[in-house]
Amino acid sequence: MRVAVAAPLLGTFDYWPPLAPCGTDAVPPRAGWVPGVRVLVPFGRSRRVGVLLELATTTEQDPTSLKHIERVLDPQPLLAAVDLVLIRWAADYYCQPLGEALFTALPVRLRRPRALDLEQERGVAATAAGRVLDLAELRRAPKQRALLTVIRAAGSGIGRAELTRQLGSCQPALRHLRARGLIEDCSIVPGVPAAATGVRAAPADAGPDLNPHQVEVVNQVTQAFGQFRSFLLEGVTGSGKTEVYIRLIQAAAARGEQTLLIVPEIGLTPQLRQQLAARLPFAPAVLHSGISDGERERTWHQVAAGRSEILLGTRSAIFTPLPRLGLILVDEEHDTSLKQQDGFRYSARDVAVRRAQLVGCPVVLGSATPALETLHNAQLGRYGWLRLPVRAGAAAPPRIALLDIRNQPLQAGLSGVLRESMRGEIASGNQVLLFLNRRGYAPVLTCHACGWVGECLHCDARLTLHLARRRLWCHHCGWFQPLPRACPSCGDADLRMLGQGTERLDDELRALFPATAIARLDRDTTRRQGELARLLEAVRRGEVQILLGTQMLAKGHDFPRVTLVGILDLDQSLYASDFRAPERTAQLIVQVTGRAGRAERPGRVVLQTRHPEHPLLQSLLRDGYAGFAAAALAERQEAELPPFSHLALLRAEAPMPEVPMAFLMSARTHAEVLREPDVHLWGPIPAPMERRAARYRAQLLVQSPRRGPLRRLLAGWTRALHALPRPRGLRWSLDIDPQDMS
């Protein structure tokens, strides 16, 4: 039997089937040997959990050396055949050990050698009649009404214990509902698929009438139901993409199919989740990094058993089994957090497309600022290209003004023009949003006497001053030191703070606008659980007049009362060295800009800059994101950069600088032998930030105009890399389609 073991080793391992239990002649039930079950296997001197892949009849290993599987852990496979195919594809494409990929796809708790807790729980589910009943008919029976609401929201089953926990004792009301044929008993068993519901229940709130563009998009996608098709949904900010997703989810559910909705970050989901809950007759299952391992495992089983119509999740949810999957949606598909940056480095967006292809269902990649790769695929006709060119409802697109701040007196980093505009908007009862993509108080602390600058001991980076916490803090490795009272170098007391972060902006705004409610949204103010949702809610309720923050603000929020957006300091990113920097900057500007004027009140954007003539800003202003993207794609083509070539980045790091370079040199030697003529090797060179967290980092870039030769090189190279001697302290990783070259 062929097994993938939870270990960072390439390849699979063969075992004999499990032996009969001691003292019996009984052959263990063969029926349990189904690919996709977890098994416990002896591995070296220890035991490991693995996943059974195949019932092979031959082996390339020496049969006499094979050991027996110790135990089959699961009564049914956790992963269906199609899930195994997807994960094997991803492991292969991203050059990752299959065991690692498999166990990334499974909830953490399932990596432990513990049998599933399959104790059945008695529960109830709404019948077809119960799902469509107008709840008003139960107004004289409030307990029954509350019960039915909860039972309907739970999808196709909720345990008795959970019901009692939520609503107290409810036996009589349950009896009545059952007698009226509105609910029925069921058992809640992880791993046992419930029948597809397929019933279209009336949503709690019907939502707005779609505009003609939205109707067209919904039609195009629903026509593709039941077959593989990828779509780019390019919808300007505020064009009602969410509304389109909701209609598509409903349409899929009406066919008895599940939807997988992937979003980049959980910061987006408090609002999205509420919207989905309000509009759909079934509660979305939610998977993201902020939930406990136990909850993750429960949700995972619930979805895998087909007991949820929709799974809303961040990147790793892309591998969750969905037996009735009929639609995949990826929102904000341009967002870099869809790409995992450590361990198993995969792009949830690209895996989504592959998954849709394997399942045979449509996939929709939505964004106001599509990634250049995705645009390119749409231009080539590989993806259907759907557009929402106007804002939904009554909203107009915001007007953008570049504000040259050279020789302008700034207060709190704000020019006079911006300050005056802010006063006007606040006086009219509107909200203002200020975007400053740098957290902390000031990015630099320096000594006026000797020029000392606070630097990280472990990184090639400056320390950011956090005044409220009286710390100098490294944003790269997390190291910090207490705020010095005098210069650590010369002892002078004249220490100065240079530059502005959100903490400082917050302080200075409070002095400039004393009677105004100000809220700051960044990683420091939203560290506590639930704080982000609370802040967003306060903004939506109009309790905040000035909202300031980092790129967290750019993430798809709907702030209907914001009429003015100020972009304070993006000049640095205009000149960053990464070839993707212009794309990211343009996306950030357009996304932040898109928070203005989303409802009836028109929006304005003021972009402060010392480089008003910069071509990126000019093309964005003149031609919008589409014009910028066209120009940027032409430049990429010229420079033979993605999507006009394909990249793989081999990174290495170690406590000594020569170690990663030497490793990459020998890696290069192997690649030279394997490469076809048009595959290029660049490096090794030290990484842009060479030292980080006390480790020296270097990289070797592989570039190929076509994917085929790159894939052929990678196949042999990955094996060679795993076989290379690994000096102590060396870590290396291979990143396919790298997004971040730092």
Ligand X SMILES: Nc1ncnc2c1ncn2[C@@H]1O[C@H](COP(=O)(O)OP(=O)(O)OP(=O)(O)O)[C@@H](O)[C@H]1O
Q: Which residues does the annotation place in the binding site?
A: 447, 450, 456, 459, 474, 477, 487, 490
Which residue reads 């980049």 in tokens? 264
C-alpha 432/C-alpha 642 separation (Å) is: 37
- Sign of the CA dihedral with 524 first, then 530, 535, and 540 last: positive
Q: Candidates 211, 220, 222, 337: give the one binding ligand X (CB under 6 A).
A: 211
Q: Which does 239 bind (CB under 5 to 8 A by kind): Zn ion, ligand X, none?
A: ligand X
C-alpha 661/C-alpha 686 separation (Å) is: 8
C-alpha 481/C-alpha 471 separation (Å) is: 6
C-alpha 716/C-alpha 157 separation (Å) is: 49
- Sign of the CA dihedral with 676 first, then 679, 680, and 685 last: negative
Dmax of the chain from CA atoms? Answer: 91
Q: Candidates 66, 135, 153, 210: give the one binding ligand X (CB under 6 A).
A: 210
Q: Which does 150 bind (CB under 5 to 8 A by kind): ligand X, Zn ion, none?
A: none
Contact 703, 579 (CB under 8 A): no
Q: Candidates 116, 311, 456, 654: give the one binding Zn ion (CB under 5 A).
A: 456
Q: Candidates 458, 469, 712, 726: give the one binding Zn ion (CB under 5 A).
A: 458
User: Taking CB under 5 A as the rule, does residue 477 contact Zn ion?
Assistant: yes
| Piece in contact with ligand X (CB under 6 A), picked from 55-63, 157-165, 209-217, 423-431 | 209-217
- The CB-of-268 to ligand X minimum distance in angstroms stands at 8
Residues 641-700 that bind ligand X (CB under 6 A): none
User: Taking CB under 5 A as the rule, does residue 87 contact Zn ion?
Assistant: no
Give the contact letters, 232-271, x = binds to ligand X (CB under 6 A), - = no.
---x-xxxxxxx----------------------------
Q: Which two tokens stand for residue 534?
A: 């609370």
Size of the site for Zn ion (CB under 5 A): 7
Closest CA relative to residue 127, chosen from 194, 204, 197: 197
The conformation of residue 443, written as its DSSP 8-state character, comes to S
Distances, alpha carbon 572 to alpha carbons 411, 508, 587, in Å: 20, 22, 15
Q: Which does 237 bind (CB under 5 to 8 A by kind): ligand X, Zn ion, none?
A: ligand X
Closer residue to ligand X, CB minimum distance, 210 or 358 = 210
Q: Quick one: which H or E segment has residue 404?
A: strand 399-404
Q: Which does 594 bind (CB under 5 to 8 A by kind): ligand X, Zn ion, none?
A: ligand X
Binding residue positions for Zn(2+)? 447, 450, 456, 459, 474, 477, 487, 490
DSSP alpha helix (H) spans, 541-686: 571-574, 581-593, 615-639, 658-674
Closer residue to Zn ion, CB minimum distance, 400 or 474 = 474
- The CB-of-654 to Zn ion minimum distance in angstroms stands at 17
User: Taking CB under 6 A as the rule, does residue 553 contact ligand X?
Assistant: no
The conformation of residue 356, written as its DSSP 8-state character, comes to H
DSSP alpha helix (H) spans, 479-580: 502-512, 531-540, 571-574
Contact 697, 651 (CB under 8 A): yes
Q: How would you class 288 by CB atoms within 10 Å of its CB: exposed for 0-12, middle for 13-18, buried for 19 or more?
A: middle
User: Taking CB under 6 A as the rule, does residue 593 contact ligand X?
Assistant: no
Give buried/exposed letters for 21-45 (b at 16+ CB in 10 A, else e).
Answer: eeeeeeebeeebbbbbbbbbbebee
| Piece in contact with ligand X (CB under 6 A), picked from 70-78, 207-215, 222-230, 656-664 | 207-215
- The CB-of-537 to ligand X minimum distance in angstroms stands at 15
Peptide bond into 684 cis (omega under 30): yes
| Piece in contact with Zn ion (CB under 5 A), picked from 353-361, 475-483, 634-642, 710-718 | 475-483
| Piece in contact with ligand X (CB under 6 A), picked from 203-211, 563-571, 667-675, 709-717 | 203-211
Sheet of 480-482: strand order equals 464-466, 471-473, 480-482
User: Taking CB under 6 A as the rule, does residue 556 contact ligand X?
Assistant: yes
Which residue reads 């004999």 in tokens? 16
- The CB-of-460 to Zn ion minimum distance in angstroms stands at 9
Q: Which does 208 bind (CB under 5 to 8 A by kind): Zn ion, ligand X, none?
A: ligand X
Residues 479-518 that bind Zn ion (CB under 5 A): 479
Residues 364-393 that bind ligand X (CB under 6 A): 368, 392-393
| Piece in contact with Zn ion (CB under 5 A), picked from 301-309, 345-353, 473-481, 584-592 | 473-481
Q: Which does 127 bind (CB under 5 to 8 A by kind): ligand X, Zn ion, none?
A: none
Closer residue to ligand X, CB minimum distance, 599 or 741 = 599
Closer residue to ligand X, CB minimum distance, 52 or 368 = 368
| Piece in contact with ligand X (CB under 6 A), picked from 120-128, 204-212, 350-358, 488-496 | 204-212
Q: Candidates 594, 597, 643, 738: give the one binding ligand X (CB under 6 A).
A: 594
Size of the site for ligand X (CB under 6 A): 20
Q: Which does 474 bind (CB under 5 to 8 A by kind): Zn ion, ligand X, none?
A: Zn ion
Residues 598-627 that bind ligand X (CB under 6 A): 598
Going by DSSP bridges, is the β-strand pair 2-5/562-567 parallel, antiparallel, or unpaired?
unpaired
C-alpha 96/C-alpha 703 separation (Å) is: 19
User: Taking CB under 5 A as the rule, does residue 474 contact Zn ion?
Assistant: yes
| Piece in contact with Zn ion (CB under 5 A), picked from 222-230, 345-353, 402-410, 451-459 | 451-459
Strand partners, 653: 697, 731
- The CB-of-278 to ligand X minimum distance in angstroms stands at 11
Q: Which does 480 bind (CB under 5 to 8 A by kind): Zn ion, ligand X, none?
A: none
| Piece in contact with Zn ion (CB under 5 A), picked from 96-104, 456-464, 615-623, 638-646 | 456-464
Which residue reads 């306060």 in tokens? 538
Which residue reads 């602390």 in tokens? 445
- The CB-of-213 to ligand X minimum distance in angstroms stands at 9
C-alpha 57/C-alpha 737 separation (Å) is: 37
CA neighbours within 13 Å on the CB side: how many for 232?
22
Closer residue to ligand X, CB minimum distance, 25 or 209 = 209
DSSP 65-86: GPPBP-EE--SS-SS-HHHHHH
- The CB-of-210 to ligand X minimum distance in angstroms stands at 5
Closer residue to ligand X, CB minimum distance, 398 or 556 = 556
Residue at 311: amino acid letter: L
Closest CA relative to residue 361, chosen from 191, 537, 511, 231: 231
Task: Describe the crossing of helices 142-153 and 171-179 by its angle, rounded to 10 degrees.
Answer: 80
Q: How many residues are present in the chain?
A: 742
Peptide bond into 643 cis (omega under 30): yes
- The CB-of-334 to ligand X minimum distance in angstroms stands at 11
| Piece in contact with Zn ion (CB under 5 A), picked from 167-175, 233-241, 468-476, 552-560 | 468-476
Radius of gyration of the chain (CA): 28
Residues forming the site for ligand X (CB under 6 A) = 208-211, 214, 235, 237-243, 368, 392-393, 556, 558, 594, 598
Residues forming the site for Zn ion (CB under 5 A) = 456, 458-459, 474, 476-477, 479
